[in-house]
Each structure stands twice: as structure tokens, then as C-alpha cells.
Amino acid sequence: MTSNVLIVYYSQSGQLKEIIDKTTAVLLQDAEINLSTYKIEMEEEFPFPWDFYSFFNAFPDSFLQKPHKIKRIPADILNQKYDLILMYYQVWFLSPSIPINSFLQNQEAKQLLNGSRIVTISGTRNM
């Protein structure tokens, strides 16, 4: 029986994406796993590379877990039921990053996550 698995992530430098690629390679080889990927997109993207002020200005909203606007989740991702959701996130200022916090507090995301089994995988500095 085929299982639907969704990868949810956000990545700036590609470091977290590299962790995703390494940890999901085995799933790609399994004919019974239908793997989809959704990258969280911010309405207003954070700069990369970071400048000094943007970096430290991200501190309050990171720490307070204040959401920013994210782009709408594509309909083909939203309208599918997943047996498993792999949620990859990075840490900003000892808290889940603003993109991940924004996703978790988004109404469409709540609909997407509702009723699915979820595994979270965290990547932090130089992992």
C-alpha cells in the first residue's frame, strides 16, 4: 500500500535542505512511498546573507514566537492527506525560526497538519 509522506521545511543557506536530502534519500528509493515537498515561503523574505541590523532585529519576533505572513500553501499540497509529515526546522535565537513559527500559527497549516502523524527534525548551527 502506498504511503503519502510530506516534507515541510524552510531553508536559507541550504544547510537544512542538505539535512533533508541526506535523511530522506532512503524514502525516495521506496516505490511504496509517495514523497512530496513543501517549502515555506515568506511574504517578506529575510535577507541572506544577513546584515547586522536585520539579524538582530529578528531576535524579538523569534524569541516571542510572533508570526510573520507566509505565502499561501499550494492547493495540490493542501488538498492531499498525508500518512506522515516530516517537519524540518532550524533554531533562531534559541527558538524555532520565525518561518516555522509563522507556519505553525497559520490557518492553512493547521488544516494541513490536522490528523496527520508528524515527526520534527531540527538542524542548528553547523550541523
Query: Interface residues with ligand FMN (CB under 6 A)?
Result: 11-17, 50, 55, 58, 90-94, 123-125
On whether the CB atoms of residues 99 and 70 are closer than 8 A, the answer is: yes
Pick the closer one to ligand FMN by CB: 63 or 117.
Answer: 63
Residue nearest ligand FMN, Cβ-based: 13
Residue 22 CB, nearest approach to ligand FMN (Å)? 13
**CA distances (Å), 45 to each of 8, 50, 62, in order?**
17, 11, 15
**Cβ-based nearer residue to ligand FMN, 27 or 50:** 50
The three grid cell numbers given for residue 47, joined into one nine-digit string: 535577507
Query: Which uninterrupted H or E stretch holds 3?
Result: strand 3-9
The least distance separating ligand FMN from the CB of residue 42, rounded to whole angstroms, comes to: 12
Question: Which residue, 3 or 124, is less far from ligand FMN as judged by CB?
Answer: 124
Q: Which is nearer to ligand FMN, 3 or 13 (CB)?
A: 13
CB atoms within 10 A of CB 96: 20
User: Given the DSSP bridges, would you call strands 95-96 and 84-92 parallel, antiparallel or unpaired?
Assistant: antiparallel
CB of 114 to ligand FMN, least distance (A): 26
